[in-house]
Amino acid sequence: MKISIIGTGYVGLVTGACLAEIGNDVFCVDVDPRKIDILNNGGVPIHEPGLQEIIARTRAAGRIAFSTDIATSVAHGDVQFIAVGTPPDEDGSADLQYVLEAARNIGRYMNSFKVIVDKSTVPVGTAERVRAVIEEELARRGLADSPAHRFSVVSNPEFLKEGAAVDDFMRPDRIVLGSDSDEAGLRARDWMKRLYAPFNRNHERMLTMDVRSAEFTKYAANAMLATRISFMNEMANLADRVGADIEAVRRGIGSDPRIGYHFLYAGCGYGGSCFPKDVQALIRTASEMGHNLRILEAVEAVNHEQKEILVNKIVAALGPDLTGRTFAVWGLAFKPNTDDMREAPSRRVIAQLLARGASVRAYDPVALNEARRVLAMDLADAPEQQARLHFACTQDETLIGADAIVIITEWKEFKSPDFMHLKSMLKSPLIFDGRNLYEPEAMTELGIDYHSIGRPYAQLADI
């Protein structure tokens, strides 16, 4: 099939590359010439395992192209995927300006039946707004009643985990499709079923429903996962106070099949492009309907406070004035296998440490360049603090002159360090672990003063 992807961000690139991989003719368009130049020169503007290899392979086969030419993009695809950003507005609602502009361009240039797919995460009712914008443009062209210019808007939300997005797309656990029940909607549903047929050969994964239910499903799914994370973080904070081990608790409750083990790890809060903005957008949608989502309001509040948990532990151990102290920060991206710094807990931790007078030596295997850019903006009004933030090229480099290690992202390479080497490099054997990578008992036996999230802590007498 001929597919157009509007937007070459995280969702658009993965969608376009994976659809090209299974044999479709894909045309990706973006208004940002910098992204298109990177892609046309063999690069990829985001870090996602396996993505660059697929793009290189499908480009060589002539099945994927990248351009800023919107008219050509609309002409190319029978199916038009809208995969642009929906950043949070000032009031927490999703900003739909890019979605609606993409729809407007489709209406300006379309000359045949099109299936318009809302792939971006959008509030309930967005498909109707997309339809209205396209109809407005067709009317402006005098084509409102033209049989040749019919179209249908469907909702096909993405369920991709950053760091595992390619595998999630190629081996989906479900494909949600919302469509209308009129003639155009049924035609669109058939086209989408044909497009996704290669992913349904073992068993049917497509869940068909009305458009509004599909739009709502995406938000509800992310809200549930965010709720599990904040719940476990609250339990971990209580475990710290009552002397329980949250890891033992996790195994105990996760073994119940009604609960399961996924998203039950305590830590220093969730971040990224999805959970924070989707929880906020759902709360805002409810507010507009005169309804309060009290559980999600609590989820958001807990997550906001959890990003302070590591700094609180540092202050409890070392005092509020950290002037003259240096911290080795391991991990900057909001999660492993990505360079995404959006809402990353590291940003809050580093800002707090610098504000208390500390110096920071930070390392991340992938996100260093993005972290430099984002943290420079965060600290734009604090040049003196910026001067105390240094980026290291290796883990070892962070340890030079460091008083303690602060672990924020659970990259694999952080899981089995040479602890005796760490002790020899650090001024004192002190670790603040925001991801519970190590066993407290083992750390005590090694003579390391180890502070984690919701796990037993025995202070060493000689520290």
pLDDT at residue number 228: 97
337 and 323 Cβ atoms separated by less than 8 Å: no
Chain mean position to CA 103:
24
Q: What is the pLDDT of residues 342-365, one digit of tens each?
A: 999 999 999 999 999 999 999 999
What angle do helix axes 97-109 and 126-140 make, rounded to 10 degrees?
Answer: 40
CATH number at residue 299: 1.10.1040.10
Residue 214 lies in a domain: no
Is 273 found in the same domain as 332? no
Residue 431 lies in a domain: yes
Q: State whether 345 and 426 are in the same domain.
A: yes
Contact 237, 434 (CB under 8 A): no
Residues 262 and 203 in one domain: no
- How deeply is 113 buried, as exposed, middle or buried, from its count of CB atoms within 10 A (0-12, 13-18, 19+)? middle
Beta-carbon neighbour count of residue 149 at 10 Å?
18
52 & 200 share domain: yes
Choosing from 304, 327, 345, the residue where a domain stops is: 304
d(CA 403, CA 425): 9
State whether 234 and 205 are in the same domain: no
Domain presence at residue 265: yes
Choose the catalytic residue: 28, 268, 274, 393: 274
At position 50, the amino acid (one-letter code) is G
Q: Say if 31 falls within a structural domain.
A: yes
* Same domain, yes or no: 157 and 228: no
Could you tell me if 197 and 232 lie in one domain? Answer: no
Say if residue 197 is in the same domain as residue 226. no
Q: Are residues 277 and 381 in the same domain?
A: no
Please say which residue of 278, 304, 330 terminates a domain. Answer: 304
Active-site residue flag, 268: no
Task: Specify whether 313 is located in the same domain as 293.
Answer: no
| 375 part of a folded domain | yes
| pLDDT score of 458 | 54
As a three-state string, the secondary structure of the chain is CEEEEECCCHHHHHHHHHHHHCCCEEEEECCCHHHHHHHHCCCCCCCCCCHHHHHHHHHHCCCEEEECCHHHHHHHCCEEEECCCCCECCCCCECCHHHHHHHHHHHHHCCCCEEEEECCCCCCCHHHHHHHHHHHHHHHCCCCCCHHHCEEEEECCCCCCCCCHHHHHHCCCCEEEECCCCHHHHHHHHHHHHHHHHHCCCCCCEEEECHHHHHHHHHHHHHHHHHHHHHHHHHHHHHHHHCCCHHHHHHHHHCCCCCCCCCCCCCCCCCCCCHHHHHHHHHHHHHHCCCCCHHHHHHHHHHHHHCCHHHHHHHHHHCCCCCCCEEEEECCCCCCCCCCCCCCHHHHHHHHHHHCCCEEEEECCCCHHHHHHHHHHHCCCCHHHHCCEEECCCHHHHCCCCCEEEECCCCHHHCCCCHHHHHHHCCCCEEEECCCCCCHHHHHHCCCEEECCCCCCCCCCCC
Cα–Cα distance, 91 to 80 (Å, whole number)? 30
Domain of residue 276 covers 220-304
Select from 412, 403, 401, 326 the least CA-distant residue to 364: 412
In this prediction the pTM is 0.91
Of all residues in the chain, what percent carry a pLDDT higher than 90?
94
Burial grade of 135 (CB within 10 A; 0-12, 13-18, 19 or more):
middle
Does 401 map to a domain?
yes
Q: Which residues of the chain have pLDDT under 50?
A: 460-463
Point out which residues pair with 326 in neighbouring strands: 359
Q: Are residues 60 and 88 in the same domain?
A: yes
Which CATH number belongs to the domain containing residue 103 in this structure?
A: 3.40.50.720
Residue 329 has a pLDDT of 98
Domains of the chain: total: 3
Predicted local distance difference test score (pLDDT) of residue 298: 97
pLDDT at 462: 43
Q: Residue 202: its pLDDT value, please?
A: 79
Cα separation, 292 vs 393, in Å, equals: 46
Condensed to tens digits (0 to 9), the pLDDT of residues 165-175 reads 999 999 999 99
Q: Beta 430-433 vs 449-451: how paired, if at all?
A: parallel
Q: Which of 274, 304, 334 is the last residue of a domain?
A: 304
Question: Within this chain, do residues 374 and 324 fall inside the same structural domain, yes or no?
Answer: yes
Query: Does 461 fall in a domain?
Result: no
In a domain, 399, yes or no: yes
pLDDT digits (tens, 9 = 90+) for 286-345: 999 999 999 999 999 999 999 999 999 999 999 999 999 999 999 999 999 999 999 999
